[in-house]
Structure 1
Amino acid sequence: MHRGLIAPGALAVAFLLPAIPASAAGASPGAPGIGDPYYPAYGNGGYDVSHYDLRLKYRPDTDRLQGTATILARTTRDLSRFNLDFLLDVGEVRVNGAKASFTTSGEHELEVTPERPLRKGDPVTVVVRYSGVPSQQQAYGFTSWHRTPDGGVAANEPEAAWWWFPSNDHPLDKATYDVSVLVPDGTQAISNGTLQSTRSRLGWTRWNWRSAQPQASYLATLAVGRFDVTTGTTESGIPVVNAYSRDLGAHDGAARASVERTGEIADWLSEYFGPYPYDALGGYVPNTDTGYALETQTRPFYSPRQFADGSNVSVVVHELAHQWYGDLVSVRGWRDIWINEGFARYAQWLWSEHEGEGTAQELADHVYASRPADDPFWTVRPGDPGPENQFHLAVYDRGALALQALRNEIGDTAFFAVLKGWPRKYAHGNASVADFRRYAEEVSGKPLAALFDTWLYEPAKPSAPAARAASVATASPAAPVQPKSWRKIAATNGVHEH
């Protein structure tokens, strides 16, 4: 070891200047988007979140939300600055305990500049203090915060987090959550996961929820209002918490008759998709005027409109199927939406078989035969529909039709092995349509590129020979009889109206 002589003046300068690691010296801003071609500004680059701790206070009468978000992350590159997706007013940001400067840009970007650059691979703690009225905030001309007569609800796809907590808002960055919400006594706060505790003091009650398994940010939900909360346990031992607004009126009975079957349906779906993947289960029906339902993790959101014509168990099947297909295994990019919606629709077809109201084959035959070749329905490509058609009916119905074609091609044994093995292979991660095709080929031992191209990517109705090869009905003077379940399944089409 060699020691050199250091001049006294140089030594003084060395003590005055903070040491900047060589890697951090070349730090640059993180990208304002995670790289999804459908939504270039969604998510952010340069870091990966592991946990969100959200401590909130909400006043239902004014719709005012105050919050402190503590975000635990790790950098994936040297960062001089990074972004969060957020819309409310920010009062303070701290990074690793030190105050950071911040500004806003674009439609929903919060730009944070830490006191010192962040090195690649380092753990980072970000604290954001904020407040605002979510229902007054819009981005791109819309809101994902739904005001109700007694509170508010955050639920939408592909974005909902911006209105109530800062995040890296893309399914590629999953995290665990603690959500603690202070509300006036007599009001309930519903979120994902398990209810850890409730505590009341001086007219306010704090509800503490925990999501212990990784969750995409759009699947995080918050509903505050006056709810009737029911509890139970599935046959497999999963605790169930359901919640219904107390002012659902004529929709109340039908909503309960549907959502109270959640445990039964989850146990039934596990026969096809493998064990239920979470430690909590349920659903909630707030008094909103939206038309859609959403697979918010462990506790799906249902609009009262879903039950306008009576009980609607099929929509519960759809949203619970997403707990495996969409939540446990999430899209790699939003172009892979078929991985979510085609499978959830096919689960409804399997439920129809279970109920003796039409087989999946009969439903596939009906979809194919009921739409002529010049119907614009066939121009939508479920495997890559484009952002404008992400929730088009074809992604659901043609998407399920593609699965029936796959089932006929590889046989029931391989098909159901794929349905059960896929969520296990990519559990708590992300995957693409191409990944699914490769997995199906691996399990079945058959080349499937041509089948996937025909049913998922060609912007045209598959030809009669292709339909015959997939054992799907071709156009004929005697069209297949409409299965008994079709009207019930079609009644769930409101789930598309995001």
Structure 2
Amino acid sequence: MASGRPAVAATTVLLFALGCSGAGETGAPAAQSTAPPGIASPASPPPAAAGPGAPGIGDPDFPGDGNGGYDVEHYALKLGYTPESRHLSGVATIKAKALHELTSFNLDLSGFTIERISVSDGGDSWQRGLAFERSGDELTVAPVNPIPAGAAFTVEVVYAGEPKPVRGSSNLGTYGFIPTRDGAFVTCEPNGAKTWFPGNDHPADKALFDFEITVPAGLTALANGELDGEPVTRDGKTTYVWREKHPMVTYLATMTLGRFELREGETASGIKNLAAVDPRYRDSLDDLYTLSGKITDHWATVFGPYPFSSTGGVVDDFSAGYALENQTKPMYGGFDPDEDIIAHELAHQWFGNSLSITRWKDLWLNEGFATYSEWIWSEHQGKSTAEQIFRRHYSADDDDPIWSYPPGRAEPDDLFNNSVYTRGGMALHALRQRIGDQVFFDLLKTWTTDHKYGYVTTEEFIALAERLSGKQLDALFDVWLFRQGKPATW
């Protein structure tokens, strides 16, 4: 999440918006592409015997988030949303693989009335009329017959109701599905996806996504990836089908709904580029489009090839006070983003989106890297150098709160502390000082290449930095990431 700045200059985070209306008549077909070979979900290890899937995925800081026992491969979300009534109807078709024999399994879902649940073994034989129960945000499904270990299965959940956002702590704000005057705005980090679709709501389980979104005619529905065909209008409603063919974590999924002005084209390197703004922000449309394309192309020279098929950004008329790097379409909540914020959100397409964390405590791998990218962009533009920015932050008094929060261990009750951003970025600059520019920038490209579409941990980054530099770096990372107090030497 954005941290430590006012909305119009927020150090952004992640964000995205959603909206839908009146469900269409057919579900979006399943995506044909799959995750790259060798990329497996780091879900909880299978137990020795059959049993229920665990109610959490295994993150000790967020024990109730996600679910164990299965790995989601694909979500097909067919949703309709009517802004006037705030009614959302949904059909979620989830393809998954059992990690052990499952007598039952959980999905994360907050609110809604469940109209029907069915389970299939992947063929045409569906188990209908299943037993299921609700407890808080857990939806427990008990198939008639246990699902064998290693088996592919599909669960379909038909649901409806008025989605409710999550009201978090001071540095989280309100997130999840948030109704707006002309649609809906969804900001799901860290665990708000459950406010609009059932799933495995934790970044340790990526999947492919298809979206079929039906809205009142005259409104635009945007989602991750690329539009599949032209929108279809019938009986006063328009249906859009979007597909994200690259693995994505649930908190990055987006369906942005409302009145938007669009500009579409390609970056100079040929990447599809789409900028969308609420009419209130029409004066920012060309700058958003131009800067998004320019920065995406530049980051590809610094971090390695752009990992997705399209780029761009969305400005909605909702005063969120932060931004979110939803995959392929960063969302800016109620302000004109400057180039530093755009650089931050687009850097996340590599750091956080392509390379995703398996534990929330490693959040600095997302936010510290994106913050440092702002400093690299400043250098590239001939403004302040990363060294100058580092020194300004380092001049903070010894009792400044930034020194009391070690960013390498993000705290669950203060996840988006400014230290995770700024001191995380400072740790990267300290590393750059130690190993030199050539090795440092080689390290960034190797990091993004070796873990493309996969999962990363702090320990893996430290090990790679030591291997490529030939230096022992434990002390440097220890003082910058894991110890309280202002580092004196490193």
Aligned match for 2:302, one of 262, 272, 293: 272
Structure 1 unaligned regions, length at least 5: 1-22, 470-498
Amino acid at match of 2:262: V
- 1:252: Cα distance to partner? 4.0
Amino acid at match of 1:32: P
Partners of 1:53 and 1:71 within 8 A in 2: yes
Deviation digits for residues 90-139 of structure 1 (CA, Å, limit 9, x no counterpart): 11110111122211113x1111111111111000110000111113x657
Deviation digits for residues 295-354 of structure 1 (CA, Å, limit 9, x no counterpart): 10011111123x3xxx51110000000000000000120000010000100110011101
User: 1:221 and 2:254 equivalent?
Assistant: yes
Structure 2: how far apart are the matches of 1:357 and 1:388?
36
Aligned match for 2:264, one of 207, 231, 236: 231
Structure 2: how far apart are the matches of 1:330 and 1:277?
13
Q: Report 1:120-131 matches (<5 A).
A: 120-131=149-160
Amino acid at match of 2:434: E
- What TM-score comes out, normalization by structure 1 length? 0.84
Residue number in structure 2 paired with 1:188: 220
Aligned match for 1:348, one of 374, 385, 390: 374
SS in 2 for 1:324: coil
Residue number in structure 2 paired with 1:93: 117
Aligned match for 1:112, one of 138, 141, 148: 141
SS in 1 for 2:366: helix
SS in 2 for 1:112: strand
What percentage of aligned pairs have identical amino acids?
Answer: 42
Aligned match for 1:63, one of 65, 86, 93: 86
Residue number in structure 2 paired with 1:202: 235
Structure 2: how far apart are the matches of 1:274 and 1:423?
7
Partners of 1:349 and 1:363 within 8 A in 2: yes
Structure 2: how far apart are the matches of 1:26 and 1:452?
41
The ranges of structure 1 where at least 4 consecutive aligned residues each deviate by more than 6 angstroms after the TM superposition are none
- What TM-score comes out, normalization by structure 2 length? 0.86
SS in 1 for 2:323: coil
Structure 1: how far apart are the matches of 2:158 and 2:50?
26
Partners of 1:259 and 1:316 within 8 A in 2: no
Partners of 1:31 and 1:44 within 8 A in 2: yes
Structure 2 unaligned regions, length at least 5: 1-45, 121-125
Residue number in structure 2 paired with 1:379: 404
Structure 2: how far apart are the matches of 1:140 and 1:78?
36
SS in 2 for 1:79: coil
Structure 1: how far apart are the matches of 2:301 and 2:423?
24
Residue number in structure 1 paired with 2:424: 399
Q: Report 1:282-321 matches (<5 A).
A: 282-305=312-335, 307=336, 312-321=338-347
Pair 255,313 (structure 1): closer, same or farther in 2 beyond 3 Å:
farther
CA RMSD in angstroms, aligned pairs only: 1.8
Amino acid at match of 2:220: Q
More helix by share: 1
Which entry has the higher C-alpha Rg, 1 or 2?
1
SS in 2 for 1:404: helix
Higher relative contact order (CA 8 A, sep 6+): 2
Q: Report 1:318-337 matches (<5 A).
A: 318-337=344-363
Structure 2: how far apart are the matches of 1:319 and 1:337?
15
SS in 1 for 2:392: helix
Residue number in structure 2 paired with 1:76: 99
SS in 2 for 1:33: coil
Amino acid at match of 2:486: K
Amino acid at match of 1:187: L
User: 1:27 and 2:56 equivalent?
Assistant: no
Pair 363,71 (structure 1): closer, same or farther in 2 beyond 3 Å:
same
Amino acid at match of 2:408: G
Deviation digits for residues 256-313 of structure 1 (CA, Å, limit 9, x no counterpart): 52454101100011111001000111111111121110010011111123x3xxx511
